[in-house]
Structure 1
Amino acid sequence: MTINIISKDGEANLRNNSFLAWQHIKMKYMDAIILVRHENEYYTFGSDAEIVAGLLNIEPVKDGEERITCRLPYYYTDWLLPKLVKAGYRVALGEPLYFKLKGVS
């Protein structure tokens, strides 16, 4: 599945775009924990964030729009994924697709 979410405001919309991607994937895979990657971090939201935060023994954070969120460095997935699967969760990772359009700088 490919989700194309383009931000005109760049980094300012990072969390919103990550949330939109998470929400889109979550609609299709409601029973999975969704982790969406942006650069060197994975983001997750809502009840997924609460589950991940519980496994990491950290507090989930509310973002500027009062959404519960959790972010973690990408290299934590090597440690976190086996824990989630062993606990009986299905996991989906959202990876960005980057490409440069011809004639666009």
Structure 2
Amino acid sequence: MTTNRRQFMKVSVASVAALATAKVAYAQPMLEESNPQAKALGYVDDVNKVDTGKFPKYKQGQLCSNCQLYTAKSDNAGTCTAFPGKLVAGNGWCNLWVKKPG
């Protein structure tokens, strides 16, 4: 089967459009504090809202953005292995916080 330039261009344009659409389709939603798993782990999207009576493990300076489980995706959000498929706030916190090595 031979391919001419016109067929190649059509396939190329369709492929680029499919890739762009796929990236949008996989955009992850932000984790809601009302999520049952988030509630169970004490997740808050702002460390100023941590209930230190309920979660005494929290110490000043602990943030999702400096946790070993967090991978930054933007300046203020990223993924967390504790909450697959969701983005968490970089300024957030949960009871699974572990200091990044280094």
For normalisation by structure 1, the TM-score amounts to: 0.26
- Flag the structure with larger Rg: 2
Structure with greater proportional helix content: 1
Structure with greater proportional strand content: 1
For normalisation by structure 2, the TM-score amounts to: 0.27
